[in-house]
Amino acid sequence: MKRFWRTLLSTGALAAAACSAPEAEPGDLTLLPAERIAAVEVPLSISESVALVDSSTACVVDFYETRIVCVRSDGSTVGAFGREGEGPGEFEGSLALMRGPAGTLGAFDARRRLTIFEPSGTILSSVQVPFMFRPMAPFGQTVVGAYDMSGSAPYTLPVAEIDLESGDFVQQRLLPHPSNLGLPMECERGYSRGALGPVGRMAFGTCQSVLVQWHGDDVVTFRDPTYASELPSDTDVETHRERWRLAFGFPPSESQMLVYSENPKWVTAGGRSLIYDDWGRLWVALQRDRHEFSYFSIFSDTTYVGSVRVRDRIEGYDLLGSTLAVLVDRLPDDPAGIPGQGVDWYRFEPPGPN
């Protein structure tokens, strides 16, 4: 992790470049094989967080009970732990999950705290992290993530590497929005949650359909060639309304909902939508469709190499080796029915030798 981060923070003049993925008709897909090998039901929740701690164990957030539930692909429960509060093993506010070393799990809560667990619920350690810290990759002795920092320059994103024994910053940096660097952009601010990949690469989404890659001091913007402008569905609208209500304690106004419903969706899904796999390829969870099927676009550097299609409405996912775990809403056949939620395991084909 530290080697990747030092590469990212290499000195030199800032260079900005724009490039595009291979041209394709909007909406065209090159589907890559992925086989669903398991499907397990989990508690209904509005959380988008899921973490694979090993190839057969996934942990999710039970938002309404303020706890974490870890399940195996055979349907058994490894652990269900936590509750609302300020003490050890208790959580406050929304949770973000991330895999740690040797099958451990990290839970980041709103009290600026990372607690490391075994999947059974045994607490291993706890450390303070910055406010609203969002991890960008599995952690080891350190963790890299973006966070909120008062007094930072306008339209910049603070990113830091934190030592998990002391809680001290190893490195930190402010990433300006590409619009501040002279790149032609359709917006002037806003980053999705980011992903940290090999040799310090970082990726984000912005401006509805733009992807951004930082490598050292170089920034490149590119687009997903499969993106086609699509308005939010009825399910998207109702999910947005509920998440707003739970986040702020009151529902959004009708004018706010009208703005949301009449503007095309971002290319990226909510939550942790970008992840680098073990071969250094960038996966992007899309907002495309998300009714009967959901989609991922996969990039080698900035080149589109194909898409993976999964069942149901994706809310979150994680990758470990050639295993893909997808947190999905299972929409009922009857529109008046109650949706369910589950984690589906897939096996996908690793890339062949170059």
| Domain layout of the chain by residue ranges | 2-230+265-348
User: Using the 8-state DSSP alphabet, how is residue 336 labeled?
Assistant: T
Closest alpha carbon to 7 in 277, 202, 143: 202
Taking CA atoms, 276 is separated from 44, 190, 196, 281, 321, in Å, by 27, 21, 7, 5, 11
> So what's the pLDDT on residue 6?
33
> Looking at residue 2, what is its pLDDT?
35
DSSP 223-240: E-TT----PPPHHHHHHH
Q: How far apart are CA 173 and CA 3, in angstroms?
A: 16
Relative orientation angle of helices 254-261 and 234-248, to the nearest 10 degrees: 140
Q: How many CB atoms lie within 10 A of CB 348?
A: 20
Helices within the chain (DSSP H only)? 2-8, 234-248, 254-261
pLDDT given at position 149? 67
pLDDT at 253: 93
Per-residue pLDDT of the chain (354 residues; tens, 9 = 90+): 433 333 333 322 233 333 333 333 446 789 999 999 999 999 988 899 999 999 999 999 999 899 999 999 999 999 999 999 988 898 988 889 999 999 999 999 888 899 999 999 999 999 999 888 999 999 999 999 998 865 555 578 999 999 999 999 999 999 999 998 888 888 888 899 999 998 899 999 998 889 999 998 899 999 999 988 889 988 889 888 988 887 788 889 999 999 999 998 888 988 899 999 999 999 999 998 888 899 999 999 999 999 999 999 999 999 999 999 999 998 776 666 677 899 999 999 999 775
* CA angle, 27 then 236 then 192, to 5°: 70
Distance CA 159, CA 134 (A): 9
CATH of 2-230+265-348, one of 2.120.10.30, 3.90.226.30, 2.40.100.10, 3.40.605.10: 2.120.10.30
User: What's the pLDDT at 7?
Assistant: 34
- Which of 265, 236, 157 shows the shortest CA–CA distance to 204? 157
pLDDT of amino acid 5: 35
Question: What does the alpha-carbon distance between residue 268 and residue 343 come to, in Å, rounded to a whole number?
Answer: 20
β-pairing, 113-117 vs 105-109, is: antiparallel
Q: How far apart are CA 200 and CA 161, in angstroms?
A: 12
